[in-house]
Chains A and B, each alone.
Chain A
Amino acid sequence: MNPFVMVKADYRAMHGSAWAIVFLVACAVAIGVALSAQEKAVRQSATYAAADFDLVVGAAGSATQLVMTTIYLQPDALPLLPGQTLKSLQTDPRIKAFAPMAFGDVVAGYPLIGTTKEFVTRWGRFSAAAEGRFFAAENEAVIGSGVKLQVGQDITPAHAVAGEQSRLGEISPQEQAHRHAHVHLTIVGRLPQTGTPWDNAILIPIESVWETHGLGNGHQTDGIIGPPFDADDIPPIPAFVVKPASISHAYQLRGDYRKNNFMALFPAEILVTLYQAMGDVRDVLLVATVLNGVLILAAIILLVLAIFSLRRKRYVVLRALGAPALYIGLVAWLGAFGLIAAGCVVGLFLGWGLTALVSMWLSAQTGLALVLIFDWLQIGPALFMLLSGSLFALVPAWLSYRLPLHEGLRQL
């Protein structure tokens, strides 16, 4: 039994209407795949970006804002913690490592962050810089892998204007106007890629930030960077990233630093609530997608019925020539299956291509490296469409059995 001869003949007879099915299916599948793949990619890379931030401590305020600013570097003015906090963290035995974070300045649109070498090396995960070296003195800076500046270049930071969203790599008029003209930093190294917004950041010793704003350097003596910080009067700090010694310590610390104008949180908690909010949006999208899918499926079924009804005379002729029902069924089903399958394949690639494009754009905007995940679950709806849609092609074939062949040959 070789139904493909007739399938080929049917495709030739269908001309453009065959492409209509392919096109419709491809669009439906592409939209569905793109939506679910994009959502997964964003979720996964957002979680990944929070990996080095075990516990974040800041002044009481918006938890979301604290997470968005420290982990995703969204420019925002955080309330400050007293410098004394640094000292108590420094001596807390429940803490394995910690790093202060100071935000607020920019260079060529890239956020400038004051911190310590512990965090620059991502708690020792980076044994060396990708290019050059880590900073070792107050006026040295290291840049993220995505920063389009050169190692060896001199830079002058500017005060970021609140609410002003600067474009990475571009010096805005505001930046020009708010330069700390007396400060000169030298880029001494470039960090390995992290796939997070921090790839678009410039990191300097926190002492350098304090000095820029005339607040001293946090040490008794000049020229030292990094812990211990032993000055009597340590400048205020917007946030700390803390690596607790153990899980139980982590919970204790979170409890302790939730009192008295402090706020401590596991970014994962915030992300969960964010994902829940995202999930609500996703649910709405999902309902929309399902409705869209149902409509498209209905359109495809109607199209299949219409196109394959035109084949009814064909089925009658095949029967008159003695073709078994199985043969006629296969011709009809395979014909529809082939068209819808072609649409699904085109749609999957279109969808993934679309996701890749949107991801590229999102990555450029946020610095989040979006990893595309090819999930077999994404193929599920396509398969459903393939099976259900192609089965409807059997209806016209089946109808050809309802009419005596003599009538069919006369009438159709």
Chain B
Amino acid sequence: MSFHGTLHSLVHEALQPDGQRLRILDIPHLSFAGGERVGISGPSGSGKTSLLHCLAGLVIPDHGEIVWDQIPITRLEASACDAWRLRHVGLIFQDFQLIPELSVIENILLTTCFSQWRVGQEARLQAHRQAEALGLPDRDQPVSTLSRGEQQRVAVARALRHNPPLILADEPTASLDRANADKVMRALLAYADTQRATLVVASHDPAVLALMDRVIPLANGRVQAGAEEAS
């Protein structure tokens, strides 16, 4: 499996409350090789989340094109893009976006319910194994009562649920202590290895970025000079 992506002349602006347009992303070119582990670094407000959302098709940029595995997602209809994301992208949001009233296992299995009436025994077992591997409490309680670190790991388990070829992780260790951060990163890397999935991680944790094949430094929505990619 080789899930590679390219990004061309991406420009995205946001409308400020005062009517001014603020350029939040301006990236001429980026590419992601299949199976590559790419870090995105940068200070707060540099555009890491915005870039990941563009890569996931959550927003169509004002200019530019993003192609994943020959599919130009920037040209897909909204619902087609949602369907593409479900099949291909494991998305870990910066603020998790879990369903607070559902339990750990229900959250992990949620995306399965989009297509299936009954969640099979096999899928259920797999979800339990995943939860266990990430050290999650296997309790039937709403995730809103879990600690932030635990919620973070539920979000990771949910993203891996469908064996997606692309993982987009937004600060996956921000709420974790060192030991748990290592656990999560090991799980993500192990997954990427076994599935040969492409992994893009936004983070400002040097320990996390050190695990990546390369790091794209962002500042003010632009890729920092000197680190511009060759191809």
Contact = CB atoms under 8 A, between A and B. Distances in A.
A319 B80 CA distance: 11
A5 interface: yes
A322 B110 contact: no
A327 B114 contact: yes
A406 interface: yes
Interface string B92-133: 010001011110001000110111111100000000000000
Given A5-B113, A321-B110, A13 B101 contact: yes
A405 B85 CA distance: 12
A243 interface: no
A228 interface: no
A406 B118 CA distance: 30
B86 interface: yes
B81 to A, nearest CB: 9
Q: Which of B53, B82, B83, B110 gathers most chain A CB within 10 Å?
A: B82
B99 A401 contact: no
A324 interface: yes
Nearest to A407: B59
B113 to A, nearest CB: 4
Given A6-B99, A406-B53, A322 B111 contact: yes
Contacts of B110: 5-6, 321
Contacts of A6: 99, 110, 113
A323 B58 contact: no
B114 A322 contact: yes
A231 interface: no
Contacts of A2: 113, 116-119
Contacts, number: 82
B85 A9 contact: no
Interface string A99-142: 00000000000000000000000000000000000000000000
Given A1-B115, A320-B58, A405-B53, A314 B99 contact: yes
Interface string B141-183: 0100000000000000010000000000000000000000000
A12 interface: yes
Interface residues of B, number: 34
B152 to A, nearest CB: 16
A405 B59 contact: yes
A323 B82 contact: yes
A322 B78 CA distance: 10
B194 interface: no
A406 B56 CA distance: 10
Contacts of B82: 319, 322-325
A12 B97 contact: no
B7 interface: no
A404 interface: yes
B102 A5 contact: yes
Contacts of B46: none
B58 A322 contact: no
B46 to A, nearest CB: 16
A5 B106 CA distance: 8
A296 B116 CA distance: 37
B49 to A, nearest CB: 8
A117 B66 CA distance: 100
B100 to A, nearest CB: 7
Contact of A321 (B53, B91, B117): B91
Contacts of B97: 317, 320-321, 409
Contacts of A322: 82-83, 85-87, 89, 111, 114
A320 B91 contact: yes
Interface in A1-31: 1-3, 5-6, 8-10, 12-13
A286 to B, nearest CB: 43
A39 B60 CA distance: 61
A325 B80 CA distance: 10
B99 A317 contact: yes
Nearest to B85: A322
Nearest to A321: B111
Contacts of A317: 97, 99
A314 B86 CA distance: 16
Contacts of A404: 58-60
Nearest to B102: A9
19 contacts: A1-B114, A1-B116, A2-B119, A3-B113, A5-B106, A6-B110, A9-B99, A314-B99, A320-B97, A321-B85, A321-B86, A321-B97, A321-B111, A322-B86, A322-B114, A324-B79, A325-B79, A404-B58, A409-B93
Interface of A: 1-3, 5-6, 8-10, 12-13, 314, 317, 319-325, 327, 401, 404-407, 409
Interface of B: 50, 53-54, 56, 58-60, 78-79, 82-83, 85-87, 89, 91, 93, 97, 99-102, 106, 110-111, 113-119, 142, 158
Given A2-B118, A6-B110, A406-B50, 20 more contacts: A1-B117, A3-B113, A5-B102, A9-B101, A12-B101, A317-B97, A320-B56, A320-B85, A321-B110, A321-B158, A322-B89, A322-B111, A323-B86, A323-B114, A324-B83, A406-B58, A406-B59, A407-B59, A409-B58, A409-B97
Nearest first, the 7 A-B pairs at minimum CB distance are: A322-B86, A406-B59, A12-B101, A9-B101, A405-B58, A2-B113, A406-B53
